[in-house]
Structure 1
Amino acid sequence: MNTKMKFALQALLAGSLPAAQAHVTLEQQSAAVGSNYKAVFRVGHGCEGAPTTSVTVFLPAGFVGAKPMPKPGWGLSIRTEKLAQPYDSHGKPVTERAAEFTWSGGRLLDAEYDEFVVRTTLPAQAGKQYIRVLQRCEKGENDWAAIQDGKDRPAFPAAQLLLTPVDAVPAHQH
């Protein structure tokens, strides 16, 4: 085992990885285009030690039919926007979409972990999607919005989802 790998493993086991190593991520980081998707946003720490008091998820254009999962002890607000291209759902025209979800009023300690969930239908175009998450804390905030486009990893990367063509996703087996 090389020295860097050994240090990273020791730091991980000791729980002392730098804050840049822990960020808001998606539990499932790939999904088929056009599929129904359960986006589970994992929040692993606060803002430089301060407890998290709100989490806002901003869904990119093309994500439709989104519904958040309420969390006991947290308020929930939803911001909608008009669709440029309405669509039909179960015989009814849909002219707007839920674009932003904010869970607030809770208190997630820096040493604790939690998940915030949104169910949505994904866009039909394959490729990477970046989902901004704004984490507000008692002191400060983390705006997880940076796009990773090269080798350097930004300090506050957006949650990343790879949309794959339907034929590239293995069939679900029981």
Structure 2
Amino acid sequence: MRALRMWIGSTIAAAAAMVSCNAALAHVTVQPADAPADSYAHLVFTVPHGCSGSATTALRIKLPEGILSAKPQMKPGWNVEIKSRKLEAPVQGPHGKSITDVVDEVAWRGGPLPDNLYDTFGLIVRLPDKAGQDLHFPVVQECEQGVERWIEIPSAGQGSEKLRAPAPVVRLKTKTH
């Protein structure tokens, strides 16, 4: 009887883990979930599925304020578009260079990425010096039929777990030397 209770308990725990894992994989995510402020980071955006069974044909990522440089990963079968925006005033860059324009949005178009497969899309970015801040990266996923907008940003004090289509987020942590 004890063995049966242990088996049932472990089965329930495994099922709960699978459900929470599936919920986490239900939307576009970014890794790492946290990164040192005022540093370069390799961000990896994971697209786990298409749009209601339809293959993904484009992924557009809007970069948050404070990112001074971004370099997207080249992917075979995909074209990369980089949209820039002019800063209101020049800022000092990491190597003493004056920066007047920054990457505003990166879009990959091509594929297609079938619904039953996943892929990752990478960006190397310079993160701002704002430890404790969350950086949200709104993502629009275009498919052969349909679109998914992973653009919801929680309001102050609200957790992203209550959002239907949360934007991927990176938490800036204190830089350690």
1:55 pairs with one of 36, 54, 59: 59
Q: What's the RMSD between the two structures over aligned residues?
A: 2.3
TM-superposed CA distance for 1:7, in Å, is: 3.0
TM-superposed CA distance for 1:12, in Å, is: 8.0
Question: Which residue matches 2:78?
Answer: 74
Amino acid across the alignment from 1:155: R
1:160 pairs with one of 153, 156, 169: 169
Question: Which residue matches 1:147?
Answer: 153
Which whole-Å CA distance do the structure 2 matches of 1:164 and 1:114 have between them? 27
> Are residues 11 and 60 of structure 1, via their aligned partners in 2, closer, same or farther at CA, if it must alter by over 3 Å?
closer
1:22 paired with 2:7, answer no
TM-superposed CA distance for 1:10, in Å, is: 5.8
Unaligned runs of 5+ in 1: none
Please say if residues 26 and 39 of structure 1, whose CA atoms lie closer than 8 Å, have aligned partners that are also in contact.
yes
Question: Which residue matches 1:98?
Answer: 103
Amino acid across the alignment from 1:38: H
TM-superposed CA distance for 1:152, in Å, is: 4.6
How many pairs does the alignment contain?
Answer: 164
- Report the TM-score when normalising by structure 2: 0.82
Which whole-Å CA distance do the structure 2 matches of 1:24 and 1:152 have between them? 14
1:7 pairs with one of 12, 15, 37: 15
Which whole-Å CA distance do the structure 2 matches of 1:48 and 1:132 have between them? 20
Question: Which residue matches 2:136?
Answer: 130
Which whole-Å CA distance do the structure 1 matches of 2:20 and 2:164 have between them? 18
TM-superposed CA distance for 1:40, in Å, is: 0.6
Please say if residues 80 and 106 of structure 2, whose CA atoms lie closer than 8 Å, have aligned partners that are also in contact.
yes
Larger radius of gyration: 2
More strand per residue: 1 or 2?
Answer: 1
Unaligned runs of 5+ in 2: 1-8
Structure 1 stretches (4+) deviating beyond 6 angstroms?
A: none
Please say if residues 56 and 134 of structure 1, whose CA atoms lie closer than 8 Å, have aligned partners that are also in contact.
yes
- Report the TM-score when normalising by structure 1: 0.84
